[in-house]
Structure 1
Amino acid sequence: MLKNTARSIRTRATAGLVTAAALTVALAGCGQDSTSPEEARGQAVGKTTAKGSGGGSHSPVDCATVKCIALTFDAGPGPHTPQLLDILKEKKVHATFFLLGKRHVDTYPEIVRRAAAEGHEIANHTWTHQRLDQLKPDEIRSELDRTQQAVKALTGREPTLMRPPQGRTNNDVKAVTEELGLSQVLWSATAKDYDTTDSALIQKRILDQAGRDGIILLHDIYDGTVPAVPGIIDELRKRGYTFVTVPQLLAPGTPRPGTLYRP
């Protein structure tokens, strides 16, 4: 039954995500100015590290002096997410989860609660993974607010971060996210794990792209992704990286609603 459920989720998710195969970070968020983690920190020198929206606070990390990188997962939760949470707990890593609402948050509420309770940052990836830059403002608002309210009902907190599907955004998205108190977060490293089940290849793609102040994009709904995570963590730690959530990466800056953050 679990295999059938996982296969069904992959099929639905692939339909919404496969067009991202041609997407590059250079194209993502085109037409909008973006703020880097370094710039976010510089705008708030002297402030203390902020708490995230994941349900817990973490020890302050000064990413101005420490070699930081953020691990993020899109389009879950799903059947593989508990295994991922076990790995992250064992490795003592906190990640940022950009969750889908329909067939994910509403299907796996106990996993959402667990991720929040274990101190991970819970963020918004819309309700149905539609490209927001192709929607009207009211439709954008519905896509985001439905997930906001679903997460709040489970964790007691609304997310403060969102990731637009395929990284596609525009001024309407900026206006609605500002209204809803959401910051936009893109990425610097992606494994394109929607087109392979080869965990070794997923690991190599991430390690080849990893850099200081980076934001790693993975999807915990695909078969090859979660098995790649331990190797990614271990190798990056050997290279001197400290894993942080996205709010920690920006601290002492606080994510500003509507702002587009990209390494």
Structure 2
Amino acid sequence: MPNRTHRPRARMATALGALSLALVLGGCSMETTSPADARKHPAPASDDARPGAGRGAKPPLPAAGTADCGKDKCIALTFDAGPGKDTPRLLDILKEEKVPATFFLLGKNHVLKHPDTVRRMAAEGHEVANHTWSHRRLDQLKKDEIREELSLTQDAIADITGRKPRLMRPPQGRINDDVTEVSKELGLSQVLWSATAKDFSTTDSALIKKRIIDQAGRDGIILLHDIYDGTVPAVPGIIAELKKRGYTFVTVPQLLQPGAPEPGTVYRP
């Protein structure tokens, strides 16, 4: 599924630290915000009154680490389209390595099928986020359909964890003005990525590791899928090598601190 978000790392390097980039996705020119720019705008002391939080929403979980990404060499590990059968093993690995992650979850056949895993993600300090209900390309939908794709998953996750997500990742990274408007309405920031293993195309764990290591960079956002057979076995090696290279793992919101995710904003390294 080729798109402009899968550029080679060499092109991505010029984006790091930029205030914003013009990005064409879904046929519409969109502005993106880098983690470095987000950190320049500290959030208010209380960030619990965000739009779309909904009844029964709880404050965000405490940060899993104490990284200062303005100084430290931070990177965010993210997983799309789960949870799946291998996600509990992934959570075991992350717990053992003391690595927080961000999980962009699918509602239909995933969140509903694995509520205990979703509950565990939240309890162990990971960021639980939205990857739509059924993985339809949002830029091809009408506003009401976009709203339904996101709202159903918001509600399903809130029923399990007690709070609605504050982040979403659009399938294939495809967005347009309607997606941004609905995301803002629902209190959701849009999160893209800088490194992908394209693990939907291979079960070779060594290759998945190599692709991620080759693309890794400071303030990076790594895209993996915990539903494919080769991915979870690759994670220990990815973590070990990046730690060896001096990286500190954080969730996406931690990558933005002291800023906070802004509803509707598109974040991309």
- Structure 2 distance, partners of 1:137, 1:24, is 23
Counterpart in the other structure of 2:116: 110
What is the deviation of 1:60?
3.2
Counterpart in the other structure of 1:6: none
TM-score w.r.t. length of structure 1: 0.88
CA contact (8 A) 2:65 2:250 kept: no
CA contact (8 A) 1:71 1:96 kept: yes
Q: Within 5 Å, which residues of 2 pair with 1:11-50?
A: 20=1, 22-25=2-5, 29=25, 31-44=29-42
Question: Residues 128 and 148 from structure 1, CA distance in 2 versus in 1: closer, same or farther, beyond 3 angstroms?
Answer: same
- Structure 2 distance, partners of 1:258, 1:151, is 19
Is structure 2 residue 158 aligned with structure 1 residue 145? no
- Structure 2 distance, partners of 1:182, 1:150, is 15
Which residue, 213, 224, 248 being the options, matches 2:254? Answer: 248
CA contact (8 A) 2:78 2:224 kept: yes
Q: Within 5 Å, which residues of 2 pair with 1:1-263?
A: 20=1, 22-25=2-5, 29=25, 31-44=29-42, 55-263=61-269
CA contact (8 A) 2:134 2:149 kept: yes
Q: Which runs of 5+ in 2 are unaligned?
A: 8-22, 49-57
Secondary structure, aligned partner of 1:187: coil
What is the deviation of 1:255?
0.5
CA contact (8 A) 2:24 2:30 kept: no
CA contact (8 A) 2:63 2:254 kept: no
What is the deviation of 1:56?
4.1
CA contact (8 A) 1:49 1:253 kept: no
Secondary structure, aligned partner of 2:29: coil
Structure with bigger helix share is: 1
Query: Superposition RMSD on alpha carbons, in Å?
Result: 1.9
- Which letter maps to 2:253? P
What is the deviation of 1:215?
0.0
Structure with bigger strand share is: 2
- Structure 1 distance, partners of 2:35, 2:46, is 13
The superposition leaves residues 88-108 of structure 1 with CA deviations (integer Å, 9 ceiling, x where unpaired) of 000000000000000000001
CA contact (8 A) 2:130 2:169 kept: yes
What is the deviation of 1:61?
1.9
Question: Residues 53 and 125 from structure 1, CA distance in 2 versus in 1: closer, same or farther, beyond 3 angstroms?
Answer: farther
What is the deviation of 1:50?
7.2
Moved more, 47-56 or 62-71: 47-56
Q: What percent identity do the matched residue pairs reach?
A: 68
Counterpart in the other structure of 1:14: none
TM-score w.r.t. length of structure 2: 0.86
Moved more, 49-58 or 150-159: 49-58
- Structure 2 distance, partners of 1:234, 1:126, is 31
